[in-house]
Chain A
Amino acid sequence: MPDTGAEARAKLVRRVILDTSIAAVVVIGMGVARGVYSNELMLFNFVMFLALAQGLNIIYGFTGYLPFGYVGFYGAGAYGFSLVVMHLHASALVGMAAAAVAALVLAVILLPLLRLSGAYFAIASMAAAQAVYEVVANPDLENITKGPYGVSLSDVFAPAFSYYIALAILAFTLLLVVWLRNSRFGMSLQAIRDDSVSAAMAGVSVVRGRTIAWLLSALVAGLVGGVFAWHISVFYPDTAFDLNISIFATVFLLFGGATTLCGPLLGVFILYGIYNVIGIAVPQYFEFTYGALIVLLVLFLPNGLVSLLTNRGIRVP
């Protein structure tokens, strides 16, 4: 029997409850972990990458745009936070607002990149992130950005508070993805990703949809960058604009499976877990193991781990 509208709505409610529950378990679990595991920096990095992989999921999973320069928003957020705290002696929470604004402003400036697609878009976004890095790291701007000499924010250093703010950002990001997966707006983004011409003929404003997804994705990275600056307190521009951050977030997302809630979570927990275990215990094997995993993934599971289930018709949250 086909589903009627009422049955479809009941299914949707069940899906939202399941997705939200998964998000809650992850956030609460990472909160509890801080009380039982002493390596807070590692936990913070997990939270950071969980949020970044989901932030990237918003733009790549739902619209098909893969920004290699995603770290640009993260760096903009880190420096948005730092500049307000350093020069205006603002509180850390005001700094977080500045981080969000900085990432959004950069996203608006880079909106024309959405006219590109595929590899051209990926490379252009990377070049844009590099350009922002060059500006920030310019020694002539030392009075403003501290140039290449790094930022110190010891006045606002509060590792516990900033950890919980990072958790709040993760919760916000996961709920964004839950909303996109279960809302008509998210459905319209997937329609745009599948076929932008057909989407327009379904009445969807393609430009508006892509713009909103781009801004939301940038906002997440900016907030994560801001809380990174707050939590770490001392950092350099090449840390905040490290291309490895983009690469890690991308690999985690693709490894788990884009457009899902669980895929990026699995990607971070498994790959970043391996990164920490192998990288610390036997670092000489780390790159080999990591590289082999990625090659195997590309060859056998190009749509990520979740495709083991989705290929069998099983819906993965």
Chain B
Amino acid sequence: MSPEPLLNVEGLVKRFGGFRALDGVSFHLNPGEVLGLVGPNGSGKTTCINVICGLYAADGGSVTYNGRSIVGEKSHRLVKSGINRTFQSPRPFLSLTVRENVEVAAHYGDPKPGFDIDALLALLELDSYAQRPAAELNSAQQKTLDLARAMATEPRLLLVDELAAGLNPAELSRMADRLRALADGGMALLVVEHLMGFIDKVTDRVVVMAAGKEFFGGTLADATRDPEVIRVFLGGGHHG
């Protein structure tokens, strides 16, 4: 019998006016697993993350984390219970230093006592910028800072929203290794990404979405052979 998943999303619905951004999405995620959420632009991937982390209220369906429903729970409470995320466009606290960005999360995000901010900054190669304002970092560094801030809360579930976009090949490879290392340490990761090479390197399996619905679940290799996935990604009619 398989263990209870850390995250279970069932029939999730999110409407913006008459538009159904999420139309009954279901998937699950186990501890230590990396699930890729892929699909064309506008398929609902980021909306899905926004609902799970409490930024948007769900209009239907359920989200269960660690065996309890988290629908309607405030973001900062979800952070304390072990859920965090990164953003598609980095969103650091621009007026604070790099170290202060992480310090806020390390103080309010309830990591274990003795959490070492400097060790985290060194791990993510941000230590030499620690006292610089976050506004002075380039986009790739700000994305890494987003990741550092999320990691400072010691999440059990990390929602990664297009972290790889804009990174050069060397940065991509390092970022993929970092995410894999987090999963190897037991963290569950939901990775939204367009770069299939990155998805291939990082994820254990993928869920393919289109028009707010998931229509494929399995390995990326199987997905690339699935005629419906090919049709959605390369054109030839809309799924659904």
Least CB distance from B108 to A in Å reads 4
Q: CB-nearest residue of chain A relative to B91?
A: A198
Taking the complex as formed, is B202 at the interface, i.e. its CB lies under 8 A from any CB of chain A?
Answer: no
Q: Mark B167-189, 1 if CB is under 8 A from A, else 0.
A: 00000000000000000000000
* CB-defined contacts of A197 to chain B, threshold 8 Å: 55, 75, 91
| Assembly CA distance A190 to B101 (angstroms) | 10
Quick check: which of B6-14, B20-28, B80-88 contacts chain A, the rest being far away?
A: B80-88
Beyond the given A203-B108, A203-B110, could you list 18 further A-B residue pairs with CB under 8 A, ordered by the A residue number?
A2-B129, A2-B131, A5-B118, A184-B108, A187-B103, A190-B93, A190-B95, A191-B96, A193-B95, A194-B96, A195-B94, A200-B55, A200-B75, A200-B79, A201-B84, A204-B76, A204-B104, A259-B95
- Whether B100 lies near A201 (C-beta < 8 A) is no
Residues of A within 8 A of B99 (CB): 3, 8
Please give the distance in Å from A43's CB to the nearest CB on chain B: 34
Give 1 or 0 for each of B94-126: 1 = CB within 8 Å of chain A CB: 111001110111011110000011100100000
- Known contacts A2-B128, A197-B55; A202 and B108 CB within 8 A of each other: yes
The size class of the interface chain A forms with chain B is: 20 to 34
Q: Does B130 contact A (CB under 8 A)?
A: yes
Q: CA separation between A204 and B54, bound complex, in Å?
A: 13
Task: Please indicate the chain B residues that have their CB under 8 angstroms from the CB of A203 in the complex.
Answer: 76, 79-80, 105, 107-110, 153
Q: Does B149 contact A (CB under 8 A)?
A: yes
CB of A206 within 8 Å of the partner chain:
yes
Tell me the dominant secondary structure on chain A's binding face: helix
**Complex Cα–Cα for A84 and B61 (A):** 56
The interface residues of chain A lying within 8 Å CB-to-CB of B79 are: 200-203
Cα–Cα distance between A211 and B99 once the two chains are bound (Å): 26
- Flag whether B201 is at the interface (Cβ < 8 A): no
**A202 vs B101: C-alpha distance in the bound complex, in angstroms?**
9
A198 to B150, CA, bound (A): 10
Closest-by-CB residue of B relative to A205 is B76
8 Å CB contact of A184 from B75, B87, B92, B107: B107
Interchain CB contact under 8 A, B109 and A202: yes
A202–B109 Cα distance when bound, in Å, is: 6
Question: What is the distance, in angstroms, from B191's C-beta to the closest C-beta of chain A?
Answer: 17
B51 to chain A, nearest CB (A): 14
Which residues of A are in contact with B by a Cβ distance under 8 Å?
Answer: 2-5, 8, 184, 187-188, 190-191, 193-195, 197-206, 259
Q: Are A187 and B104 in contact (CB under 8 A)?
A: yes
Query: What's the nearest-Cβ distance from chain A to residue B49, in Å?
Result: 11
Residues of B contacting A259 in the complex (Cβ-Cβ under 8 angstroms): 95
B162 beta carbon closer than 8 Å to chain A: no
**B127 interfacial by beta-carbon distance below 8 Å:** yes
For the complex, give the distance between the alpha carbons of A237 and B156 in Å. Answer: 57
| B103 contacts A206, C-beta separation under 8 Å | no
B53 in contact (CB, < 8 A) = yes
Q: How far is the CA of A232 from the CA of B105 in the complex (A)?
A: 47
> B60 → chain A, closest Cβ, in Å?
23
Known pairs A188-B104, A205-B76; A199 contacts B127 (CB<8 A): no
- Distance in angstroms from B163 CB to nearest chain A CB is 14
Q: Is B239 close to A, CB under 8 A?
A: no
Set of chain A residues within 8 Å of B127, measured between Cβ atoms: 2
> Is the CB–CB distance between B93 and A194 below 8 Å?
yes
Q: Does B74 contact A (CB under 8 A)?
A: yes
* List of A residues within 8 angstroms of B84 by Cβ: 201
The smallest C-beta distance from A307 to any residue of chain B, in angstroms, reads 12
Tell me the complex Cα distance, A202–B118, Å: 17
Nearest-neighbour CB distance to chain B for A181, whole angstroms, equals 12
The docked-state distance in angstroms from the alpha carbon of A4 to that of B131 is 10
By a CB distance below 8 angstroms, the chain A residues around B54 are 200
Structural contact, B103 and A201, CB atoms closer than 8 A: no
B104 close to A184 (CB less than 8 A): yes
Among B93, B99, B100, B116, the most chain A Cβ lie within 10 Å of the Cβ of B93
Contact for B149 among A2, A4, A201, CB less than 8 A: A201
Q: In this complex, what residue of A is CB-closest to B80?
A: A203
How far apart sit A187 and B53, CA to CA, in the bound complex (Å)? 23
Chain B residues whose C-beta falls within 8 Å of the C-beta of A200 in the assembled complex: 54-55, 74-76, 79
